[in-house]
Amino acid sequence: MARTLTARLHQLDGPKGIRLFEVFDHRFLRVRQTNGQTPLRDYAMDVAILSASGRLLHNSDQGWLWAAGAATLVLFIDLAVLLLGTGSPWLLLPLAGLLLALTVICVTQFLHSRRHLLTFVSRYAAVPLVEILAEQPEAESYSAFITTLSNDIETLASRKDLTAADLRAGELRSLRKLLEQKIITPAAYEDAKQRLLNHAD
């Protein structure tokens, strides 16, 4: 049976990356993530298992910050040796310039790597399942998609014919499928399973 596309968000993720989110029939969310021609993730889920409110998280590559710190430390040592007059200025001055440039590059790369992600987690076990780049491609289409998705989640979760036990069972089934697709780790699945079983008590 053909499904009807009810919401779509297309995002660029870096120079070659793409994130595509599609909601079908106000019920199923498909997530696709690629880097150039390489598919990274492709999975779908019933949106009823998601919490309606996304969490805004800040993500960055800390390696660049560590590299900037190391370059700055060596730069200070170089300048101290230069000021104490115990080394050759012809060697130490170019080295200081190189270290300063390296520090600036590392800090710039760190700032460039910072991303704001709106993360949707599973309703009861709080497993992160969907990461959407905040405010991209621009605020209007981003907000429209998030509003539609959140409304669809709430509508499904508030259906009279679905009890909390039904929702927990559906969440566990969906998480099992995502484990089989290697979207979540075995450890995350086992932790979620325990949380869901404890919730049932």
Tell me how many domains the chain contains. 2
Q: Which domain holds residue 87?
A: 62-113
H/E segment holding residue 6: strand 5-13
Taking residue 153's Cβ as centre, other Cβ atoms within 10 Å add up to: 25
Tell me, yes or no, whether 45 lies in a domain.
yes
Q: Is 121 found in the same domain as 84?
A: no
Give residue-wise pLDDT tens across range 37-83.
Answer: 899 999 999 999 999 888 876 665 677 778 878 878 887 787 777 77
The pLDDT assigned to 113 comes to 57
Residue 57 lies in a domain: no
Q: Is the peptide bond before 137 cis (omega within 30 degrees of 0)?
A: yes
Q: How far is CA 67 from CA 58, 108, 109, 167, in A?
A: 20, 11, 10, 46
What mean pLDDT is reported for the chain?
86
103 and 139 fall within a common domain: no
Residues 105 and 178 in one domain: no
Q: Compute the average pLDDT of residues 104-119.
A: 75
Q: What's the gap between Cα 180 and its chain centre?
A: 20
127 and 192 in a single domain? The answer is yes
DSSP E strands, 63-163: 115-121, 128-133
Is 190 part of any domain? yes
Backbone angles phi, psi at 17, to 5 degrees: -80, 150
Q: Are residues 68 and 159 in the same domain?
A: no
Same domain? 73 vs 38:
no
> Which residues have C-beta within 8 Å of that of residue 112, sequence separation ≥ 6?
none
Average pLDDT over residues 138-144: 92
State residue 74's pLDDT score. Answer: 81
* Pair 121, 109 in one domain: no
In a domain, 161, yes or no: yes
33 and 81 both lie in a single domain: no
- Shared-domain flag, residues 48 and 122: yes
12 located within any domain = yes
**Residue 29 maps to a domain:** yes
Would you tell me the crossing angle of helices 186-200 and 164-180 to the nearest 10 degrees?
170
At 27 the pLDDT is 93
Asked if residue 149 has pLDDT above 90, the reply is yes
Q: Among 113, 136, 153, identify where a domain stops.
A: 113
* pLDDT tens, residue by residue, 114-140: 668 899 999 999 999 999 998 888 889
| Global confidence as pTM | 0.73
Q: Which CATH number covers residue 160?
A: 2.30.29
Is the domain of 108 the same as that of 120?
no
Cα–Cα–Cα angle for 25, 27, 33, rounded to 5 degrees: 95
Same domain, 80 and 131: no
Write out pLDDT tens, residues 151-186: 999 998 888 788 888 889 999 999 999 999 999 999
79 and 48 within one domain? no
